[in-house]
């Protein structure tokens, strides 16, 4: 019985790692499509969201089957419960990558009102957080998970910089308003991706220690 359970846990682990790789790729493509104004890549990123959603449903279903059929306890239960939470955050990150690409399509063919500097930097930092959070899960690395949480301040500070720059552009010329709002939305999506990476790291910590930022769950 235990050997079968271990096989199912291994399948669950591999499925989550695969989903994480697809989500990382989607965020990378969203950033590249934006900077290069690549319509084809933006559409590819949007289409990839369906695959991410499929993975989320499959993994969530496997988690529930494991809980109902195997009735895991202690460390095993924390692990499965954490995966249920993590896949939700990964799915939301996929949504945000698609959202960014939707706006990229709207901006296609139009010159940017300013050189994109801090938004690509935000994207770089959020992708770094996402990769670290998934690595923390794979390696069961508590310290790496904590580094992800600490790094969220970097992304938040960059968002404030982007917001202030765009507000200033609107004040200088109101005709910049529409694109400035679109770029601010993109920055907000990258900021939210950082938040979801932080959530993933917090659930890794819970899986390893049994404690969460909201207190000891079980």
Q: Is the pLDDT of residue 218 over 60?
A: no
Lowest average pLDDT, out of 83-92, 96-105, 107-116, goes to 107-116
Q: Which of 192, 207, 194 is nearest to 84 (CA)?
A: 207
Query: pLDDT grade, residue 1 (50/70/90)?
Result: low
Mean pLDDT for 41-63 is 96
Q: Are 87 and 56 in contact (CB under 8 A)?
A: yes
pLDDT, tens digit, 9 for 90 and up, residues 140-184: 999 999 999 999 999 999 999 999 999 999 999 999 999 999 999
State pTM to two decimals. 0.93
* Fold of the domain built from segment(s) 2-216: Methane Monooxygenase Hydroxylase; Chain G, domain 1 (1.20.58)
Q: Is the pLDDT of residue 73 over 80?
A: no
Show the tokens assigned to 92. Answer: 């939301």
CB hemisphere CA count around 158 (13 angstroms)? 24
**Domain boundaries in the chain?**
2-216
């Amino acid at each position: 019985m235990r050997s079968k359970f271990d096989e199912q846990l291994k399948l669950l682990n591999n499925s989550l790692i695969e989903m994480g790789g697809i989500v990382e790729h989607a965020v990378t493509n969203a950033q590249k499509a934006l900077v290069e104004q690549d319509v084809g890549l933006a559409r590819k990123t949007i289409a990839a969201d369906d695959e991410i959603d499929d993975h989320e449903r499959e993994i969530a279903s496997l988690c529930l089957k494991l809980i109902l059929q195997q009735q895991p306890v202690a460390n095993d239960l924390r692990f499965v419960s954490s995966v249920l939470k993590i896949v939700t955050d990964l799915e939301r990150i996929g949504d945000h990558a698609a959202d960014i690409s939707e706006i990229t399509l709207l901006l296609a063919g139009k010159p940017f009102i300013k050189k994109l500097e801090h938004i690509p930097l935000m994207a770089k930092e959020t992708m770094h957080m996402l990769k670290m959070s998934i690595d923390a899960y794979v390696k069961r690395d508590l310290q790496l998970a904590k580094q992800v949480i600490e790094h969220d301040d970097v992304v938040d500070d960059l968002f404030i910089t982007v917001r202030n720059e765009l507000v200033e552009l609107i004040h200088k010329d109101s005709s910049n308003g529409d694109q400035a709002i679109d770029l601010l939305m993109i920055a907000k999506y990258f900021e939210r991706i950082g938040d979801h990476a932080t959530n993933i790291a917090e659930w890794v910590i819970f899986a390893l220690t049994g404690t969460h930022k909201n207190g000891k769950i079980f």
